[in-house]
């Protein structure tokens, strides 16, 4: 009934406030960006920090245009020395970014979405989907039932989502686009709701690579994370087919195998050696390829697990209390979802 909302807007005010309070010297910033420590900033080193673009997806052309506009690269070779970087006034960079309005095609994510409640009392189709996820993942009901609602997403022609991982650091433009808080998305179940006429594949750029190196994602102006230009170069592409789903883990196991609630891991009956949440699995990097014809509809179920066992236990106890105290008459169907956010902030 509420309709769809744009999945990403440019967080101009929040971005400027964050940048204004950032306590870091220009030298420290240079050293942070200079990943190979050669004293020179190559384009791919700057591209690797796309989130400096205030929600825009930066390309080599974008960066060179910016260098030219703020006179940061006098010799025009696309490489900044420490001296050139030190001579640059960062306020000119912020001014340049403010003055260039980003089109939808230039955002990290170009889609619209809404949320559908799946808890007790939800529509029978929503409950059936949740039961299918339970059977598929073989996780305990406590974990799945306390995860967030179903996100339904529409990508129109020209829609895309550049490659990302579903958990990890929070950045302004993706601010944990689903949880907005500290819970991590341990698993992702992505449902394809229609057949797409052209494009719209889900790409896993580095799936099955023997090694992972963030800088190797960008070579010779080819950015494997760019789903508008280079989806065809990804290792694995899944074509949308109505009624199918793809399911993956976003984390590696930590090997401890102990559940904060009852001792054994809630995942132990699924994978005997699987423990609580370990490190983010870099190979889960994925994105939505450019929709070249028609419309793409998908839905996402993210299975949320907090990296802290103790906090996960507290959260589950709090959700159980709310469920006990609030009956169907006194509690609207979205109350638990709102409480989800409140409990996360408190914890």
C-alpha to C-alpha distance for 249 and 54, rounded to whole angstroms: 28
C-alpha to C-alpha distance for 290 and 234, rounded to whole angstroms: 13
Convert the pLDDT of each residue in 215-251 to its tens digit: 788 887 789 999 999 999 999 999 999 999 999 999 8
C-alpha to C-alpha distance for 58 and 203, rounded to whole angstroms: 19
- Higher model confidence: residue 271 or residue 214? 214
The pLDDT, as a whole number, for residue 236 is 96
**Least trusted range by pLDDT, from 51-55, 74-78, 149-153, 219-223:** 51-55
Domains along the sequence of the chain with CATH: 26-104 (1.10.238.10), 109-257+277-343 (2.60.120.620)
C-alpha to C-alpha distance for 175 and 161, rounded to whole angstroms: 14
Which residues on adjacent β-strands are paired with residue 185? Answer: 304
The pLDDT, as a whole number, for residue 103 is 85
Span 48-66, mean pLDDT?
77
Q: What is the mean pLDDT of the chain?
A: 78
- Higher model confidence: residue 101 or residue 131? 131
The pLDDT, as a whole number, for residue 231 is 96
Measure the CA angle with vertex 5, ends 3 and 7; round to 5°: 145
Span 82-92, mean pLDDT?
90
Which residues on adjacent β-strands are paired with residue 222? Answer: 219
Convert the pLDDT of each residue in 165-213 to its tens digit: 987 654 433 333 344 444 578 899 999 999 999 999 999 999 999 888 8
**Least trusted range by pLDDT, from 223-232, 271-280, 336-345:** 336-345
pLDDT class of 335 with cuts at 50, 70, 90: very low
């Amino acid at each position: 009934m509420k309709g769809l909302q744009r999945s990403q807007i440019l967080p101009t005010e929040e971005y400027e406030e964050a940048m204004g309070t950032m306590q870091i010297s220009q030298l420290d910033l240079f050293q942070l960006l200079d990943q190979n420590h050669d004293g020179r900033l190559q384009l791919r080193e700057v591209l690797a920090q796309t989130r400096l673009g205030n929600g825009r997806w930066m390309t080599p052309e974008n960066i060179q245009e910016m260098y030219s506009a703020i006179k940061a690269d006098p010799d025009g070779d696309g490489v900044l020395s420490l001296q050139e970087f030190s001579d640059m006034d960062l306020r000119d960079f912020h001014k340049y970014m403010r003055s260039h309005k980003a089109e939808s095609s230039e955002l990290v994510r170009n889609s619209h979405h809404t949320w559908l409640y799946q808890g007790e009392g939800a529509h029978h189709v929503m409950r059936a989907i949740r039961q299918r996820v339970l059977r598929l993942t073989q996780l305990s009901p406590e974990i799945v039932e306390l995860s967030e609602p179903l996100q339904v997403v529409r990508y129109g022609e020209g829609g895309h989502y550049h490659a990302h991982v579903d958990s990890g650091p929070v950045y302004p433009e993706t601010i944990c686009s689903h949880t907005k808080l500290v819970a991590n998305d341990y698993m992702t179940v992505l449902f394809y709701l229609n057949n797409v006429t052209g494009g719209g594949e889900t790409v896993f750029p580095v799936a099955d690579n023997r090694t992972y190196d963030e800088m190797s994602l960008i070579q010779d102006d080819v950015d494997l994370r760019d789903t508008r230009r280079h989806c065809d170069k990804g290792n694995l592409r899944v074509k949308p087919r109505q009624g199918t789903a793809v399911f993956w883990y976003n984390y590696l196991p930590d090997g401890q195998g102990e559940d904060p609630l009852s001792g054994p891991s809630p995942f132990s009956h699924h994978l005997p050696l699987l423990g609580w949440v370990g490190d983010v699995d870099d190979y889960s990097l994925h994105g939505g390829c450019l929709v070249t014809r028609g419309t793409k509809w998908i839905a996402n179920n993210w299975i949320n697990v907090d990296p802290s066992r103790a906090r996960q236990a507290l959260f589950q106890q709090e959700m159980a209390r709310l469920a006990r105290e609030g009956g169907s008459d006194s509690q609207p169907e979205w109350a638990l979802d709102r409480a989800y956010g409140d409990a996360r902030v408190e914890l």
